[in-house]
Structure 1
């Protein structure tokens, strides 16, 4: 059993915005680690205000915590003043929910949203006391995973990450959790490599230690050579075909301080109909899949009721291209309920 990190309140009061590190927000989920079968530290390699605004992390956090056998907790990069306190006082990187050291979780997952955050990932691993290189981490260390749009160009981080997840993760995350739990209950056959072999057989999972990258004389990437028997020669991204019924969180965590996007969020659709060749997201998240306005209105009412927000952000790659936008924002749709008369769409 791990012991929570206890930071001296006097030291915490000396850093900017100490509320970034205390947790306890409305709708956050706290579970007893001894009562679950899998613990996951979801890490966003940026400061609290940015990380708390990310929809993908909100979805996966709520999705896993819906399961009684899994505890998912948030970990964000500390601001430099807090990092100085942690290093000088010997505090390891910890989760917000239970203040558990990151190295004590079963899995540590990073989201790769932009390349400039890659060095933050290494810094967070170092703060956690986890060896940076995957080859230096034994079976006593957590599985280090990563996903998100930058996982499609995984090679800059392959020395540090055990497994990458390509594509949309609502369905594959459930399979991942089931696989790790079964592996643990069976006595961890084959150690961490045995688990990675199982994960490599599942759609969207790229285990870099099972491949060797090939480069030409100029240093340009040419492709991958399989080095582990049974590993697939190609890894296909995961795509959620039915976005109408896919899980979406209706109890968002309400931050203790102002964040970048401090409002409720509705995801209208995935993909983009424009197909601009310069747009990474437009290529990665195709095809276009829309949610119905009736379903969106129902989600909005649940989210507002559970959070107290009076603004909703319409979150998609090109929200104005949503085919049912006029119908969705029609005031008559909302005037039937007095609680939503002051609702604003951003």
Structure 2
């Protein structure tokens, strides 16, 4: 629902938009804004730089919203990026972008926090700032302007948007936001520069204006009066860690329309392409009893008919079988279905999926990632030919007739034989389905590989647009059977993502110029235009390929060297060297500690046991 604190002039405009539900604010669960209160109350706006249905599917917003609501010195509302039709309407009617709860303009908040989930949402941040009446650049903001901060995985590679952000939260919001609330409340009335200096003394807060970036060609070096690098903060013990007692439930359809319950955080499988697997280490689990209680309480209060047990690799939860047994009577009694969003490609995962009714309604999705065993060893995927055989046979034997397979093209050391392997696996999957007398359909999705910071492949070049397109077309030319569909991600977006994934502060001026030229929702194919970006790069005299198409030296100064994720650069280099040799690194949870860096901080797995 809306809480009418401001005159709502949006309602007459909603019928003119493609999806009015994005702006109507018709929800169950949001708490009314706090009225009046002391002058030290800090008003936050959590801002998601994409449309409502995507932002509302992000579990982090639910956690942080509820966390801030419980802070005595804080209140919180939310804002999402308006689609291009609503942006036009807001501008033509001279209306500011405000929160979904009260339409309070972004400029009227004490602090506005952006979630950085995807590099191609950077221009949406500028759209929201501009519509909300906030200057783009931190150095141009006045004393009355809100503090603009940002968190999420993108905060660990912050430099491309550093000039736009006053402070980055590196790591867990559950740890950092209460400390920010205290500082922002205590420093009300002080100069903006003093407030930022005080924020910078919180462990895990990065204030770009207090850190100098020295450009040496393509290399970057950092200096500051503050201690560098700045270390990511984590919830050390996940047992009993904060989780909402109630959830905001939208009346409109959203991407993930379910009760989301984070059963554990982190991943130790060590896939060398996966940034999330590095930056969310170490693995920390909730207890089975805690999760059972969350399932019971949140299904009672939300009305959702599905529960998602979410994590980076849900099937790796050590108590999963016990958990499913204990929640079975709860969900069956309420007619609620359970889903596991991430499945391994093995028989255990498929058998488990077969026991979950919600997963039997559609097809199964697997991610072999590479077409040959050699290349899967390079990326440390840990999926063998036998695993693929077992998983596919198990899937079709349990009655599925649709399987989706995810792959990447452009991986380091890739050859034509590896591409042919993608086609071979698809054909083999079709053959196995036929052997089980299934009317089989195989959907193959191939994404262009983007090397990411804080991974073993941060030193590697990305394939060019032309190379990725040629590979995608080559794969499509190999598919003749109508039971197999193959789609590949358009390489232009992968190219731009690669630029920002390892970019530095020079890119901020390019982002601003591209926005002025009309760049919006660059992650959406219907609004994306690479030509705008190339024009912006050319006008700023910056070669985008210098960020993503070249190999890097082992000791090169990276634009993220002042950020410490907890995983050491030496470990990443060792993993890169093992990748070139095709050597595997087994999961440390089931083998032994590999010295990634977290053992120095008391990682439970390096100490030999589960907490």
**TM-score of the pair, normalised by structure 1:** 0.93
Q: Deviations over 1:148-183 (max 9, x none)?
A: 101111110111100001011102110110111111
Question: Does structure 2 conserve the Cα–Cα contact (< 8 Å) formed by 1:44 and 1:110?
Answer: yes
- Which deviates the most, 173-182 or 333-342? 333-342
Deviation at 1:83, TM superposition (A): 0.8
Select 1:63's aligned residue among 61, 67, 73: 67
1:145-164 matches, within 5 Å, as 145-164=149-168
- Matched with 1:134 is 138
Deviation at 1:274, TM superposition (A): 0.2
- Matched with 1:345 is 339
Q: Indicate the SS of the match to 1:329.
A: helix
Question: Does structure 1 conserve the Cα–Cα contact (< 8 Å) formed by 2:263 and 2:317?
Answer: yes
Cα distance in 2 between the residues matched to 1:61 and 1:285: 21
- Matched with 2:253 is 258
- Matched with 2:278 is 283
Over aligned residue pairs, what C-alpha RMSD do you find?
A: 1.7
- Matched with 1:19 is 21
- Matched with 2:193 is 193
Question: Does structure 2 conserve the Cα–Cα contact (< 8 Å) formed by 1:38 and 1:177?
Answer: yes
Cα distance in 1 between the residues matched to 2:128 and 2:10: 21
Cα distance in 2 between the residues matched to 1:171 and 1:210: 22
In structure 2, the CA distance between the partners of 1:46 and 1:254, relative to structure 1 (3 Å rule), is: same
Q: Indicate the SS of the match to 2:308.
A: strand
- Which deviates the most, 259-268 or 248-257? 248-257
Cα distance in 2 between the residues matched to 1:242 and 1:8: 44
- Matched with 1:204 is 204
Q: Deviations over 1:47-82 (max 9, x none)?
A: 000000001111101100122432110100001111
Determine if the alignment matches structure 1 residue 51 to structure 2 residue 55.
Answer: yes
Cα distance in 2 between the residues matched to 1:288 and 1:120: 32
Q: Deviations over 1:238-273 (max 9, x none)?
A: 011111111111311110200000000111111102
User: Which ranges in structure 2 are unaligned for 5 or more consecutive residues?
Assistant: 341-611
Cα distance in 1 between the residues matched to 2:57 and 2:103: 21
Asked which structure has the greater CA Rg, the reply is 2
Cα distance in 2 between the residues matched to 1:129 and 1:71: 20
Deviation at 1:337, TM superposition (A): 7.6
Q: Indicate the SS of the match to 2:292.
A: helix
In structure 2, the CA distance between the partners of 1:169 and 1:233, relative to structure 1 (3 Å rule), is: same
- Matched with 1:294 is 289
**TM-score of the pair, normalised by structure 2:** 0.53
Cα distance in 2 between the residues matched to 1:300 and 1:336: 8
Cα distance in 2 between the residues matched to 1:131 and 1:59: 28
Cα distance in 2 between the residues matched to 1:145 and 1:74: 14
User: Which ranges in structure 1 are unaligned for 5 or more consecutive residues?
Assistant: none
- Matched with 1:9 is 11
Q: Indicate the SS of the match to 1:108.
A: strand
1:211-250 matches, within 5 Å, as 211-217=211-217, 219-220=218-219, 222-226=220-224, 229=225, 231-250=226-245
Cα distance in 1 between the residues matched to 2:195 and 2:54: 32
Select 1:77's aligned residue among 81, 91, 105: 81
Deviation at 1:216, TM superposition (A): 2.1
Cα distance in 2 between the residues matched to 1:337 and 1:286: 31
